[in-house]
Amino acid sequence: MRKILVLKKFIVPLFIILGIGSIFLLKGLKFSFDFNQFFPEGDDDLIFYQEFTEEFGTDDSFLLIAIENDETVFEADFLRRFHEFSQKADTLPYVKSAQSLTTLFYPLKTSFGYTRIPIINIEDSTKYQKKWERLQKDNFFLNSLINRKSTSLVVALETEDELDYSQSVELLTEARKSLKESNLQEHHFLGRAFFYEALVEMQIRELIVTTIASIILVFIILFLVYRRFTIVFISLSSIALALLLFLGLLSLLGRELNALAAFYPVLMLIVGASDVVHIMDSFLGKIRLGDTKKTAIIAILKEVGLTTLLTSATTAVGFASLMTSRLRSITDFGINSAIGVLVAYFTVIFFTTTLLLLTKKEKLVPKGNPTPKWPLFLARINTFTKRNPKSILISSLAFTLLCFWGISKIHTDFKFNENLPEGGQIAKDFHFFQTNFTGFRPLEVAVSTTDGHKVSDFKRVKEINLIENKLKSFEAIGNVQSLTLFYKGLHRANHLNRQEYFVLPKDEKTFEKYKKEIKKLSRKQYAKFVNGDENKARIATRVLDVGTDNLKNIYDEINTFITAKTDTSAIKFRLTGKGLLLDKNSVYIRDSLLAGLFIGLLLVSILMALLFKNFKLLLISLIPNLLPLLFAGALLGFLDIPLEASITVVFAIVFGIAVDDTIHFLGKLKICTARGLGTEEALEQTFKETGRALIITTMVLFFGFMVLLFSIYRPSVIIGLLISATLLTALALDLLLLPVLIRKILKDSGDINAKG
């Protein structure tokens, strides 16, 4: 630590150079919102889906563009403009094909072969009503390419697989340009590209807003506490520099920022502020007692520096525990946050202490005597714990039982729309499609055969049709398509396009005849549903966002139907798709959460055991920090908040940060007893020297996470509220329950410093 004194003139320039370098690196920050990062890695269904996509491509490679007209879409001028855009849409970048009701046709068998009849003949307005009545009777295109009120039409674009952010932006930019050229103002988007663009823009906006809000907040709190601009400047510049270095490091390492990136500024600023406050409070206290700056720095680095190192390590371990998650987004957040905590620690230790050494003493210490309010207030808390130990223990027990009751109410009935930016265009468009069309969630049924059978055999196609009819029986499932569509279409075409013939042919001879004609007329479209060997096929659907509990019931009913009603000896069906994988998150969230917390608890216990070398102190330190975790879970249950991927970070943050105050409290207590003070005297001194810093840092943490209330991302708002409330609880337990446990379990000061 003495090297800081020797190198003090070089440390500040070094950090400034690193900060400037980080500014240039910020341009290289990568933002991502890929649904794949929310899939449980190593899961059997994920492995199956990845193999399935090798045959048929991903199931979210689409962009739907719904275009509205005030009263009805069956208006000549509107249909001409819509058709113009539909044709141009086929030439948009990364688009493989485009379909709409003005570009599609009904096939019709005549004596000269097959001909095509427009679904909507835009040039003949006298037949608009008749065409609309036909569409209503067909029911095939309703809620997929036209809504039931006939007020909006959809252009369905098939895009290339796995478009990245820049490709998505390029596609949408050109699409909006074409819509404007066709004078189609009222439009809505839905699809991977639109989600990618909107959610990455949200991440960038959240990162900027939370950074600015956190800096302003920390400035206000520090100024109210210290009332010296020099101290505030040193503290804030250290914290801001730590954030800058952290973001620069993420850019240098090529780490991607996902939907949880908005937490990074808050975490860095408040974790850094916590370290700064503990060091600053200890430094100023020693300066007031007459120590020189050098002596004070050496003392606090030995006393506070060690406990701050441990608190940083435990916080990092809390975040690192998220690495046990099978969701890549959560794992990445845990790794990045752990890196950030360590960056904040080293910045504060080296940069902050160096600035304190280089600053004149009179600019640091406020004029006049320090206010006696803090010592009096903290002394009263200590006295309260001494006089009311029984009441505190009973209250803590009642609080624990209440938490378990709340935890029993936790559910995982998650809806995707609840995670969309509140008030944003993406939320409005998602709601529009949810209300007027068949929704966004893709659901696929993978079909495969055994023993040399083909999925295009007559018996197998009838089995596929059986599953299709079952899927159509669910109100939440729509736009069901498979290879049966081609046979039904030709069967109707051979019977004057009468709707009652839109069914599979009854005899195998007719079926085989249609099969040959399909391969001549629609080979490319047919290949989207059947592989080249004809031993695999797909049934594609889209599902409304009705909640994971309802969807699980639907999946269970479909699987039961498959087992009971299909010939599984010759053909197999399996549900798959990105929607199904997202819904499986709830299965893994609880398991990974418990596993992560257990590992985190174990590692933190080892770290504290190394510090305190006392089993009783270790036990005392863990009890007040398990209760906040229970309280966080109870809040989820009482507030009816579904447990989903992003919410799980609450527990890692609470566990990683809440334990810091306990370590500082017990660390100071151990130092006091080592000086020869008795337990009561040591507690009084600990409250006096550490209590103020604990309260200040918790206030910084509390209001820091409350910054997330400015977020337009609902999970961020929920996480901010949960963590803020839980950290207040942790502070109350440290100031009230911890002293009681010390008096009950540690009989005298010898027990505190005893090893073992």
Q: Cα separation of 326 and 604, whole Å?
A: 22
Cα–Cα distance, 487 to 213 (Å, whole number): 61
pLDDT at 3 over 60: no
Q: How far is CA 67 from the centre of its chain?
A: 31
pLDDT exceeds cutoff 70 at 750: no
pLDDT at 323 over 80: no
Average pLDDT, the chain: 82
The mean per-residue pLDDT over the stretch 137-154 comes to 87
| Residue 263 pLDDT class (50, 70, 90 cuts) | confident
Q: CA separation (Å) from 238 to 5, 246, 312, 598? A: 18, 12, 16, 33
- Which tops the pLDDT comparison, 227 or 503? 503
Asked if pLDDT for residue 371 goes beyond 60, the answer is no
Higher pLDDT pick, 444 / 353: 444
Whether residue 301 is predicted with pLDDT greater than 80 in this model: the reply is no
Specify whether the CB–CB gap between 537 and 464 falls below 8 A: yes
Amino acid 569: pLDDT = 81
Q: How far apart (Å, rounded) are the C-alpha atoms in residues 618 and 75? A: 76
Between 267 and 371, the higher pLDDT residue: 267
Model pLDDT, residue 81:
93
Residue 130 reports pLDDT greater than 80: yes
pLDDT at residue 397, rounded to an integer: 92
Task: Give pLDDT tens digits for 32-77.
Answer: 666 666 666 777 888 888 888 888 888 788 899 999 998 899 999 9
Check pLDDT > 70 for residue 445: yes
Band (86; pLDDT cuts 50, 70, 90):
very high
Per-residue pLDDT band for 586 (boundaries 50, 70, 90) equals: low
**Percentage of the chain modeled with pLDDT above 90:** 14
Instruction: Measure Cα distances from 414 to 73, 475, 644 in Å.
Output: 35, 19, 7
User: Using DSSP, how many helices (H) and how many strands (E) does the chain show?
Assistant: 28, 12
Per-residue tokens: 292: 């020189």
Q: Give the residues across from 11 on adjacent strands.
A: none
Q: What is the dihedral of CA 561, 566, 572, 573, to 10 degrees?
A: -30
Higher pLDDT, 586 or 683: 683
pLDDT at 281 over 80: no
User: What pLDDT is attached to residue 66?
Assistant: 93
pLDDT of amino acid 402: 92
Per-residue confidence (pLDDT) for residue 408, from 0 to 100? 86
Q: Write out the DSSP string of 695-714.
A: HHHHHHHHHHHHGGGG-SBH
Return the DSSP state at 690. Answer: I
The whole-number pLDDT of residue 639 equals 86
Who has greater pLDDT, 218 or 530?
530
Q: What is the pLDDT of residue 587?
A: 60
Closest CA to 230 of 370, 353, 366: 366
Intra-chain end-to-end CA distance of the chain, in Å: 29
All residues at 6 or more sequence positions from 172 whose CB lies less than 8 Å from its CB, including other chains: 63, 189, 193, 194, 197
- Would the pLDDT of 259 be above 70? no
Q: Which backbone phi and psi does 110 adopt, to 5 degrees?
A: -120, 180
What residue ranges define each of the domains in the chain, with the CATH number in brackets?
1-30+228-251+261-365 (no CATH), 61-196 (3.30.310), 389-430+584-756 (1.20.1640.10), 431-579 (no CATH)
* pLDDT band at residue 187 using 50, 70 and 90 as cut-offs: very high
Rounded mean pLDDT of 396-421? 83
Q: What is the pLDDT of residues 170-185, one digit of tens each?
A: 999 999 999 999 999 8
Helix 458-472 crosses helix 548-565 at what angle (to 10 degrees)? 150
pLDDT tens figures, 59-71: 788 899 999 998 8
What pLDDT is stored for residue 548 in this prediction? 81
Give the tens place of pLDDT for each residue, 480-501. Answer: 888 998 888 888 888 888 888 8
Q: Which of 7-11, 92-96, 162-166, 233-237 tops mean pLDDT?
A: 92-96
